[in-house]
Chains A and B, each alone.
Chain A
Amino acid sequence: MSEAITERTLTEQLRDLSSGEYSSRDLTEAYLQRIEYSSGINAFITVSAEQAIKAADRADERRAAGETAPLLGAPIAHKDIFCEKGVRTSAGSKMLDNFISPYDATVVSKLRDAGAVSIGKTNMDEFAMGSSNEASFYGPVKNPWNTERVPGGSSGGSAAAVAASLCSAATGTDTGGSIRQPAAFCGITGLKPTYGRISRWGMIAYASSLDQAGPMARCAEDCALLLTHMAGPDQRDSTSSSEAIEDYSIALKSGISGMKIGICREFMEGLDSDVAAILDNCRTVLSDLGAEFREVSLPNSHLAIPAYYVIAPAECSANLSRYDGVRFGYRCEGPENLEDLYKRSRSESFGREVKNRIMVGAFALSAGYYDAYYRKAQQIRRLIKQDFEQVLGEVDMILGPTTPGPAFRLGEKVDDAKSMYLQDIYTISANLAGLPALSMPAGFTEAMPIGAQLIGNYFCEAKILKAAHQYQQVTDWHKKKPVVEKAS
């Protein structure tokens, strides 16, 4: 093999493992070395080296004994928002720096059951609130393509880890773009499935009605494989869907000839010219593969960001109330009384962005403001959903940008919340509508990757994965890899 084993796709690695090219232990150790080498990227909060090697050895033994499993021996990194039994699960917060989860998230147990090796927990914006990974208690993640730039957020650690070849693939969560935006910034493929497609049990909640787990990998084929083993109903999550799961890997194989793809007028207006040119190329490639394009309109899309920044903070203001210093997590020193315990435990351990959103959310829900903010935002959400339902009655999917531009510089937007929030302008509406959406590498500008986004209809993950996979059969943007320098 000319390329390093760490740089092969998950699908290729599984083939190699089964043909005995190398062992899971070889692969796991190679990744652990790379993680060490690339520690300057700061992609991981916790590296589970010992546990991973044990699991790799077990996978090798199973394979030697003739057993098989779909992901047997593949080292996967989990965003540190997924509870993993016996492992610190911090959600990027000082609040949970001491929290060792006593139980597994469904995503974690399902992937383990499919044979995956859990290699560690990736860095993230605190409680998934952020678009740059600068809001982590554990420090910012650096973009492997240029360490002066952000990797995106909130699943920035997972995106950077995949891009820098620190794991076979990773899990992420997406509430307003938190899988797709970092996938775009880091030049990888990331899928946010339909709301309810993957169980949220054990996934630390930010905004419950928007949060959705998904795979982050080198290519659509890997995402399809992972999705097959992450998706499915779960009695412990009432919002998980009982809609049948497909074998998404099989669904990839057929062509996309005759597939109808919409270009959303509102997404193209005022779009950065480099990004527009990249999208235009992307469109040409998909057309050559037989897709038919037409212009569509989502007239309420400009309302998505304001609606999101009411609904998500409102839900987070309640979801984060359990972090009170009473039962687990950070507790302030020498509380004088109950109120002091609450106030100091929370104010000493939550970061600025988390506090902002709790305040905004509590305000939006408060008596006298509920109708003007929360109820109104829910109405907008319904309008956005209706827009999509109409458009997706005419086309199979919508092609658009994932982000307004390439990864920005570290610190550039830290003090400009509005500009930071606008990063999610193209991704948020899929969360509000609950639709599946994918970001795939489609080109470069300023030597940084740019992503193209495909938004599909409910439970039509197979279609957007297929379009991305077919695109990746004739392009090599997803094969480009950054050169990561050794940490000093």
Chain B
Amino acid sequence: MSSDWEVVIGLEIHVQLSTRSKIFSGSSTAFGAAPNTQASAVDLGLPGVLPAVNEAVFPKAVAFGLAIGATIGQRSCFDRKNYFYPDLPKGYQITQMDEPIVLGGSVDISLRDGSSKTIRVTRAHLEEDAGKSLHEDFHGMTGIDLNRAGTPLLEIVSEPDMRSAEEAVAYARTIHQLVTYLSVSDGNMAEGSLRCDANVSLRKQGEQEYGTRTETKNVNSFRFLEQAIRHEISRQKEILESGGRVAQETRLYDPVRDETRPMRSKETATDYRYFPEPDLLPVIIDEAFINRVREAMPELPTEKKQRYTEKWQLPEADAALISSDLGLATYFEACVASCDDPILSANWVRGELLGSLNRDDLAIEDSPLSAEALGQTILRIKDGTISGKIAKTVFTALWEGKAASADEYIEAEGLVQVSDTGELEPIIDKIIADNPKQVEQYRNGKTKLLGFFVGQVMKETGGKANPQQVNELVRGKLG
């Protein structure tokens, strides 16, 4: 990337709210039902039907607004956005134009080089999702599935504050983290619960005015978002460097070909003819409501991270990793509660636990090993019952369901650590006697051989010897 160009990126993120029913009808929002089985008269836009707002959307939107330090619109109004499309049954989308529920606010993003940056949020508004047009299996025709029509969305619009694909992805991840933390959304990107539109433009370094932007629509994975933006940057750069002009248009990212291509031109712009939705009254959100939402809000990731580093002395990286996912953080905190050792808990969660989850492709919620069982295993290391090495065996056994608890397994397999000097001394004496050559080398100054002796003892005891004690004993006898 030539340093002549500055990249300017703004994102519009559509988050499906995790309400059981739709925003303006009682139909279910569950994903994956047979086409049009979750579409009522309201969703179909039949003559005479009216929307009635699902009040469950307001606490979710307000919680998001509070989490990003935004202003909550005291009066929240709905508007009609008019356009024709087969998957938009009424011919207009109910959205919020002039008086959105969330105004302003910002989020901090962390970048790979360890730096962080504040990205401003312009607004977030409530609206209804459209249905889906299905182009396969219809032999040149299009099928319409209206199950998704009316699913509540929070559209989160950022300021054009991002300067690279990396920043854009970090921002999208931060929003994803926030909305899942707050149970605003299930965040399931494969099912379309979070979709990004990326506005990308280039300008000469130091220039004040923005270049012409393109909008790449409906990107539903972080990886595709990064690829789409990178592709769009190089495409625009190529155009600009060859003296061309970027057309203001909507583009679609094709992950198979790794390219964006035009969808529709915004120059012949559709005029959406917004006007206030006469079927819905303005919603008044008072201080008492906002306070109730605030009180019910969970601790946010940044707050958790701070607590982990300051109160529990966790390394920055561990704190960031664990706090990034609510499930992981919840597990970690339960583990700490049961063993009272945040550092060891963090080591085990980050190491064995995450490793095993990744290997077996499991979500934290599906871990076969409970946080309490891990905590008990850690407790046995702390009280000297088992070594860290044996603890890994215990972990594996518990993971594989071979025992119900660490204690049960330690007992059954006789894994209690040998710390009895009387039991260890004869073993050490025998090893010293069996290895005269090494004893001589050690005594001649090759003290690195201490490890060899310790290793032999551990082998002889099946790993059960307390390694620290063996060390001391061997050193004493050889000294």
Contacts and interface: CB of A to CB of B under 8 A. Distances in A.
Same complex for A and B? Answer yes
B91 A208 contact: no
A201 B47 contact: no
B82 interface: yes
A419 interface: no
Contacts of B91: 318, 320-322, 324
A99 B86 contact: no
Contacts of A207: 278
B47 A322 contact: yes
A238 B44 contact: no
B41 A209 contact: no
Nearest to B51: A238
A205 B91 CA distance: 14
A233 to B, nearest CB: 12
A101 B47 contact: yes
A96 B46 CA distance: 11
A365 B82 contact: yes
Contacts of B458: none
A237 B50 contact: yes
Contacts of A327: 44-45, 89, 144
B41 A238 contact: no
B48 A202 contact: yes
A314 B80 CA distance: 11
A45 B271 CA distance: 37
Given A239-B281, A326-B144, A366-B273, A318 B80 contact: yes
Chain A interface, >50% SS class: loop
Interface residues of B, number: 29
A46 B41 CA distance: 23
Contacts of A320: 91
A142 to B, nearest CB: 27
B82 A201 contact: no
A417 interface: no
Contacts of A205: 47-48, 279
Contacts of B144: 326-327
Contacts of B289: none
B48 A83 contact: yes
B50 A89 contact: no
A236 B47 contact: no
Interface in A323-367: 323-324, 326-328, 338, 342, 362, 365-367
A208 B276 CA distance: 11
Interface in B368-393: none
A338 B52 contact: no
A235 B52 CA distance: 7
B47 A83 contact: yes
Given A238-B279, A239-B281, A366-B271, A102 B41 contact: yes
A328 B144 CA distance: 13
B52 A236 contact: yes
Given A321-B92, A322-B90, A204 B281 contact: no
A31 interface: no
Main secondary structure of the interface of B (DSSP, over half): loop
B271 A204 contact: no
Contacts of A338: 86, 142
Contacts of B80: 318
Contact of B275 (A200, A235, A238, A370): A370
B275 A318 contact: yes
B312 interface: no
Contacts of A367: 271, 273
B362 interface: no
Contact of B92 (A83, A102, A201, A318): A318
B86 A204 contact: no
A365 B83 CA distance: 13
Interface in A200-225: 200-205, 207-209
Contacts of B45: 322, 327
A91 interface: yes
Interface string B49-83: 11111000000000000000000000000001010
Contacts of B92: 318, 321
Nearest to A93: B47
Given A321-B91, A324-B91, A370-B275, A237 B52 contact: yes
A103 interface: yes
B84 interface: yes
A374 interface: yes
- Counting chain A CB atoms within 10 Å of each CB, the highest count among B47, B48, B51 belongs to B47
Interface string B137-161: 0000010100000000000000000
A91 B80 CA distance: 23
A461 interface: no
Contact of A209 (B50, B86, B278): B278
B293 interface: no
A326 B41 CA distance: 15
A321 B84 contact: yes
Contacts of A91: 47
Contacts of A235: 52
A96 B47 contact: yes
A245 interface: no
Contacts of A365: 82, 273-275
B86 to A, nearest CB: 5
Nearest to A361: B273
A322 B51 contact: no
B46 A328 contact: yes
A89 B46 CA distance: 11
Q: Which of B41, B144, B271, B278 has the most CB of A within 10 A?
A: B278
Interface in A419-460: none
Nearest to B273: A365
Contacts of B47: 83, 89, 91, 96, 99, 101, 204-205, 322-323, 328
B280 interface: yes
Contacts of B281: 238-239
Nearest to A203: B48
A200 B45 CA distance: 15
A318 B78 CA distance: 14
B278 A315 contact: yes
Contacts of B50: 200-201, 236-238
Contacts of B48: 82-83, 89, 101, 105, 201-205
B271 A103 contact: no
A370 B82 CA distance: 14
A103 B275 contact: no
Which residue, of B41, B46, B48, B90, has the highest number of chain A Cβ atoms within 10 A? Answer: B48
Interface string B23-48: 00000000000000000010011111
A234 to B, nearest CB: 9
B90 A238 contact: no
A235 B273 CA distance: 28
Contacts of A203: 48
Nearest to A199: B50
Question: Among B82, B86, B275, which residue has the most Cβ atoms of chain A within 10 A?
Answer: B275
A101 B49 CA distance: 11
B46 A102 contact: yes
A366 B83 CA distance: 12
B53 A238 contact: yes
A201 B49 contact: yes
B41 A103 contact: yes
A377 B244 CA distance: 45
Contacts of A324: 84, 86, 91
A370 B86 CA distance: 26
Contacts of B90: 318, 321-322
Interface in A273-303: none
Contacts of B46: 83, 101-103, 322, 328
20 contacts: A83-B47, A89-B47, A103-B46, A201-B48, A201-B50, A202-B48, A208-B278, A236-B50, A237-B50, A238-B50, A239-B281, A318-B80, A321-B82, A322-B47, A322-B91, A326-B144, A338-B142, A362-B273, A365-B273, A365-B275
Given A203-B48, A204-B47, 8 more contacts: A99-B47, A201-B48, A209-B278, A317-B273, A321-B91, A324-B91, A338-B142, A366-B273
